Structures are given as structure tokens and as C-alpha cells.
Amino acid sequence: MIKKITLFSLLTLLAMLKLNAQSLPVGSIAPDFTLTDVNNVSHNLYNYTDSGYTVIIDISATWCGPCWSVHNSHVFDSLTAHYGANGTLDPGKIKVIFVEADTTTNSADLNGTGSNTLGDWVNGALYPIIDLNTNAFAGLYPHAGYPTFYVVCPNRSIAFTAPGYTAAMLAEPFWVSYMNNCPVKVNGINASLLNATTKKYVCPGTAEPLEVNLQNLGTTPITSATIEALDGSTVIASTNWTGSLNSYDMATVNVGNHTFSALNTNVTYKVIANGDVQSTDDQIDKTAIALKSNYYTVTLQVKTDRFPGEVKWTIKNSSNTVVKTKTYVGNGTNGGGPDASKVFDEILILDPNECYTLEVEDEYGDGLTSVAGIPADSGYIKLYDGLPSSMLMENYGGNYNYGFTTAFRTGTSVSVNDIISTDNFNVFPNPVTDVVNIQFDLTENSPVSLRLLDMNGKVVLNKEIANTNSVNQQMNVKKLSAGIYNLSIVTAKQTKNVKIIVQQ
């Protein structure tokens, strides 16, 4: 994280340079790989996981200071001695694989004799060391910096991933906890639901697919199963799956579609398979959040941290068209800048009864979380129905790593309070042949949208005005066909419509 890097030494800063890569998410299936180590021994991920190993992948570079600190802690040597193939505590449970992923380094650097190294990484290491010479592995296992760690369970799912390290990671208990909690196969038929891929945020009134990952956590192949999705005790979707899953194989199953109302709905997924010997992994729950505003003006409130340049948000409509996007202005890795540690009320005047998605991205993957208890370094993102003085729809907080996607449906109400003053309100001339003048005052500052629509509801002219309390604008209608048009004046709290007659 950039924020944490600023607290490290210069060497650490160099090690954790951004690689603009988002790690594979926890709960996803780890891609298989076969790599050959410096002793010409081949290592296949799934061979280890299928044998019951929890695999720890350490992605490092020979010149990386934090990587060297982890290496010199000897935690991975200790784990291998206690839980490796010949472990003295619980053999055959943990496999550590060290991957030197900087393709510009060489074997001399690994052995401590090169010009781009902090020492000898090979001598005394009890775990295999891979020296990569291509970037293919980075395509399978993205890493935002060095070191980056992945923990892969025996069922091939990713249990942990993170760039950098904490003090806890330099001791055995941190890693052993994953070994103890990873799912493992049992004898016989065991149909397991690994996770639900249904969206967390859904658009109310729109049919959403209900999807779940079915995995074989038994030793006997699974060829059929029934999967249900329930809202309470009511079955809202069901499907009879057929196929062939061997041990640890997985299939993504579409249980059906469901239209959510504007409420939070806890969906329970259940799998039923003949002869299933273990019921504790037959059911999972996932809550779907359906947000609906009363108004078609919403406010996205963003409190930035000390690194605002990492944050970007985008609003898209149901046609996946970008309606508005913004990236804040910072001062690079030094922090600060004109948009740092400020609250921005982004007032969005949208279309009524429309489904929108909000995509939030963090360039480095540390969200808006606080570091070292510094209040100015903590931020958040909130969505309000109307203005910030109105109802809070959702507080997304700031702990969202690389970002998140949410959905909401706008309401149809045109007014919270009237703010367009009736005094000095003028739209002239009307009828008009060339230029129509639009003049009015507002009782408070607001963004203003002027939209001229034809009788089919198509916007033929449009003007957007930033926060103001007075409007004096012109629209040139000379190229429009003669006819009746609707001038829609939209503010943060009110919409006013005026009939315009165009004569040619």
C-alpha cells in the first residue's frame, strides 16, 4: 500500500512499487501451474493440493528489502520442517513455494553473488525456489508488489492473498491457522457449495442470475445434484444439475433468475445429492442488497484520504453507458494534493426509474483505510437519496481494497423542496425561431441541467451547469424542426417543465 510504504524505509518503498495488478480474490479457484525449481525439480500446484497440502506461494524479488526480511525470519523454513513432507509435527500438510518473479534477475542474484541482490536466498532454504524467466506466471497470479503471498487450500480455493507483510506473518501460527481451517475432501460422496457468485448489490425490479459454485469434496465422483435457492423457507429458484466432478473439481451452476424488491434479501443455497456423507457444507448464505432511491437526484459523498489520486468512480446506466466519471487529484507517492483529505458531495441528476451501477476503483488496492491511526488518512464513500441532508442509502466505508461495484435504481419523484424561484423566471421568446433565453434564480446553490426534448422524449439540446444560484443561458434552436418541445429544468431538488414552440 502506498500509505504504508511511506512508513517504511526507502528500500521498502522501492520493493513495493506499484505493478498495477489486482490479486486473485479470496474464495476463487487458484489456477494450476507447473514450475521447475533451481534444482530442476518440477512442482505442480494441484498435485500438492490434491494430496492434502495447504500451499503457500511467496512471490518475491532478490533485491526486495521486505522479501529479505521475511526470508531471514526463517518462518517458511520452520513451517517446512514442521509440516512439510517430512515434518516433525504434522507431515504432509504445508508446502511452501518461493517464486523469484523479477525476470531481470538471474541465478547469481539468487545465490547472492550477483549485482541485484541482498544476499544468498538458496543456501539453507528448506523449500523449493523457482527462478522465473518469463512473465507468464504473473498472468496467472497477479501481484501488486514484492512480496505478495497466496495461500491455496487443498480444495484449490484461495484462502489468503496480500502484498507486503505484517509482524504476525513472520510466525508459524499465522500460516498454520489457514492449514487448520481449509476444506479437505472426505471419503465417499460429498457435494459442497463453495461460494455464491450472485452479486452483493442488485438492481431492484431487474431479474438477476442466482449462481453458486458446486465442488466435489469427496473421493467419489458426483454426477448429479439438486440445488435450491431460498428466501426464508420459500424456494425462489431450483435446478437439477448433471455432469461429472472428480475430487476438488468445481462447476458454476446457474440456479435460476430472481427479481429482488428494494430490500435486503438473504438467499440460502442448498445442494442435495444422493448418498452425500457430509451435510455441514451443503448450505451457504448470501445477502443481496437492492437499493432504490425516492428521487432521481442522488449524491455520492466521497471523503478522500491522503492519496486521492488513487481513487476513481464511474456511474453507468442500464445500457452500460458511462454517465459520469471522476478521478481525484493528488500528489503521487508523496501524498497530499488539492483533493487530499476532503469531502466531496457529487450531486448526480439521473434519469427516473433507471438502473445504475457505480464502479469504484483504487489504483493501489488499499481503499480509503486509515494507516497508523492517522485520521486524515481515513476516508469513505456514501450514497444519499437526494442531497446529503436527505436519507443515507448506503455507507460503503473505505475498506474496499481495489474497489467495488454497486447497483441502485432511481426513483421518480421530481422534488425534495422547490428551489427554483418564481420571481424573475423567464423563458423567452416563446414561440421562438432561433435563440431561446432561459433566466431564473435559485434559493440555494445547485447544479442545473437544461434539457430540450422533442415530443418523443428524445433530448435534442442539453446544457449542464455547475453549482450556481442564478441561471442566464441561451439555446440555439435554429436547426430544429418546427414543433412543440419540452424544456426540462432539473436541479438537485426540483424539476420544472416549460413548453417551447419552435417556428421556422
CATH code, domain with 270: 2.60.40.10
Q: How confident is the model at residue 414 (pLDDT cuts 50, 70, 90)?
A: low
CA distances from 400 to 26, 197, 405 (A): 13, 18, 10
Query: Taking Cα atoms as reference points, which of 76, 71, 144 lies closest to residue 401?
Result: 144
pTM of the model: 0.72
Q: Are residues 255 and 342 in the same domain?
A: no
Distance, in Å, from the CA atom of 301 to the CA atom of 343, rounded to the nearest integer, reads: 7
419 falls within a domain: no
The three-point CA angle 331-336-337 to 5° equals: 60
Domain boundary among 231, 258, 290: 290
Q: Are residues 42 and 160 in the same domain?
A: yes
Q: Are residues 205 and 171 in the same domain?
A: no
39 falls within a domain: yes
Domain boundary among 181, 201, 226: 181
- Is 427:450 a contact under the CB 8 Å cutoff? no
Look-up of cell digits 510466525: 171
- Which of 2-16, 362-376, 413-427, 474-488 is least confident? 2-16
Phi-psi region of 367 (alpha: psi -120 to 50; beta: other; left: phi over 0): left
417 falls within a domain: no
- The amino acid occupying position 66 is P
Q: How confident is the model at residue 249 (pLDDT cuts 50, 70, 90)?
A: very high
Distance, in Å, from the CA atom of 478 to the CA atom of 436, rounded to the nearest integer, reads: 10
Query: Taking Cα atoms as reference points, which of 330, 333, 309 lies closest to residue 8?
Result: 333
Distance, in Å, from the CA atom of 355 to the CA atom of 208, rounded to the nearest integer, reads: 12
Q: Are residues 144 and 41 in the same domain?
A: yes
On the question of pLDDT at 248 being above 50, the answer is yes
On the question of pLDDT at 48 being above 50, the answer is yes
Tens digits of per-residue pLDDT, 210-223? 999 999 999 999 99
On the question of pLDDT at 373 being above 80, the answer is no
On the question of pLDDT at 161 being above 60, the answer is yes
Distance, in Å, from the CA atom of 270 to the CA atom of 192, rounded to the nearest integer, reads: 9
Looking at the DSSP bridge assignments, the partners of residue 428 are 437
- Is 189:276 a contact under the CB 8 Å cutoff? yes
- The amino acid occupying position 206 is T
CA distances from 371 to 44, 85, 343 (A): 38, 39, 19
What is the pLDDT, as a whole number, of residue 2?
36
In Å, the largest CA–CA distance within the chain is 93
Phi and psi torsions of 10, nearest 5°: -60, -35
Q: Are residues 22 and 159 in the same domain?
A: yes
Q: Are residues 28 and 177 in the same domain?
A: yes
CA distances from 51 to 83, 92, 185 (A): 13, 8, 10
Distance, in Å, from the CA atom of 450 to the CA atom of 440, rounded to the nearest integer, reads: 12
Domain boundary among 161, 181, 201: 181
Burial class (CB in 10 A: 0-12, 13-18, 19+), 240: exposed
What is the pLDDT, as a whole number, of residue 24?
84
Q: Are residues 162 and 71 in the same domain?
A: yes
311 falls within a domain: yes
Phi and psi torsions of 7, nearest 5°: -95, -10
414 falls within a domain: no
Query: Hey, CA dihedral for 112, 45, 165, 162, is it positive or negative?
Result: positive
Query: Hey, CA dihedral for 88, 89, 95, 100, is it positive or negative?
Result: negative
Q: Are residues 149 and 51 in the same domain?
A: yes
| DSSP-assigned states of every residue in 306-345 | S-GGGEEEEEE-TT--EEEEEE----GGG---TTTT-EEE
**Domain coverage including residue 146:** 2-181
- The three-class DSSP label of residue 117 is coil
On the question of pLDDT at 14 being above 50, the answer is no
CA distances from 404 to 20, 62, 207 (A): 16, 33, 21
Q: Are residues 43 and 162 in the same domain?
A: yes
418 falls within a domain: no
How many structural domains comprise the chain? 4
- The amino acid occupying position 342 is K
Cell readout for 286 is 448470501
On the question of pLDDT at 415 being above 70, the answer is no
More confident residue, 53 or 9: 53
- Is 435:479 a contact under the CB 8 Å cutoff? no
What is the pLDDT, as a whole number, of residue 12?
38
67 falls within a domain: yes
Q: Are residues 196 and 146 in the same domain?
A: no
305 falls within a domain: yes
What mean pLDDT is predicted for residues 225-248? 96
- Which of 134-148, 265-279, 306-320, 421-435 is least confident? 134-148
Look-up of cell digits 435504481: 409
Phi and psi torsions of 343, nearest 5°: -100, 125
Q: Are residues 276 and 320 in the same domain?
A: no
What is the pLDDT, as a whole number, of residue 13?
37
Q: Are residues 73 and 146 in the same domain?
A: yes
What mean pLDDT is predicted for residues 468-497? 90
Query: What are the residues whose beta carbons fall under 8 Å from the beta carbon of 59, sequence distance 6 or more?
Result: 99, 101, 141, 143, 146, 147, 148, 149, 150
Give the CATH number for residue 485: 2.60.40.3080
